[in-house]
Amino acid sequence: MSSPEGETSANGVKIAVRDLIKVFGPHPAAMVPLVRDGLGKAELLELYGHVLGLGPVTMDVRAGHVHVVMGLSGCGKSTLIRHINRLIEPTAGCVLVDGTDITAFSARDLRAFRRRRASMVFQRFALHPHRTVLGNVAYGLRVQGVPRAKAEVCALGWVERVGLAGFEDRYPAQLSGGMQQRVGLARALATDADILLMDEAFSALDPLIRTDMQDVLLRLQADLKKTILFITHDLDEALRLGDRITILRDGQVIQEGTTPEIVLKPADAYVADFVRDINRARVLRVKAVMDGAINGARGPLLPLSSTLEEALTFFHEDPSGRRPVINGDGRGVVGSVGLPEILRAIERPNLDRSGTGGPEARLPPL
Ligand SMILES: Nc1ncnc2c1ncn2[C@@H]1O[C@H](COP(=O)(O)OP(=O)(O)OP(=O)(O)O)[C@@H](O)[C@H]1O
Ligand SMILES: [Mg+2]
CATH code where residue 336 lies: 3.90.1280.20
Question: How many residues are there in the chain?
Answer: 366
In a domain, 41, yes or no: no
Q: How far apart are CA 274 and CA 363, in angstroms?
A: 7
- Ligand 1, closest atom to CA 79? 18
Task: Give residue 310's domain range.
Answer: 281-346
Mutation test residue for ligand 1: of 75, 80, 87, the one with most atoms within 8 Å of CB: 75
Which of 322, 212, 221 is CA-nearest to residue 314? Answer: 322
* High-pLDDT (> 90) share of the chain, %: 67
pLDDT-based confidence at residue 36 (cuts at 50, 70, 90): very high
Query: Maximum distance among all alpha carbons in the chain?
Result: 68
Which of 188, 173, 352 is CA-nearest to residue 272? Answer: 352
pTM of the complete model: 0.85
User: For 186-200, b where at least 16 C-beta lie within 10 A, e where not — what string?
Assistant: bbbbbbebbbbbbbb
In a domain, 301, yes or no: yes
Domain total for the chain? Answer: 1
User: For 158-170, b where at least 16 C-beta lie within 10 A, e where not — what string?
Assistant: bbebbbbeebbee
With vertex at residue 282, the alpha carbon angle to CA 197 and CA 242, rounded to the nearest 5 degrees, is 15
pLDDT of residue 76: 95
Whether 283 has a pLDDT exceeding 80, the answer reads: yes
Dihedral sign for Cα 184, 187, 191, 194, please: positive
In a domain, 295, yes or no: yes
Q: Is residue 181 within 8 Å of residue 215, measured between CB atoms? A: no
- Ligand 1, closest atom to CA 71? 21
Whether 352 has a pLDDT exceeding 70, the answer reads: no
In a domain, 319, yes or no: yes
In a domain, 156, yes or no: no
In a domain, 244, yes or no: no
In a domain, 331, yes or no: yes
Q: How close is the Cα of 44 to the center of ligand 1, in Å?
A: 15
Nearest CA to ligand 1 atom 30: 74
Whether 191 has a pLDDT exceeding 60, the answer reads: yes
In a domain, 20, yes or no: no
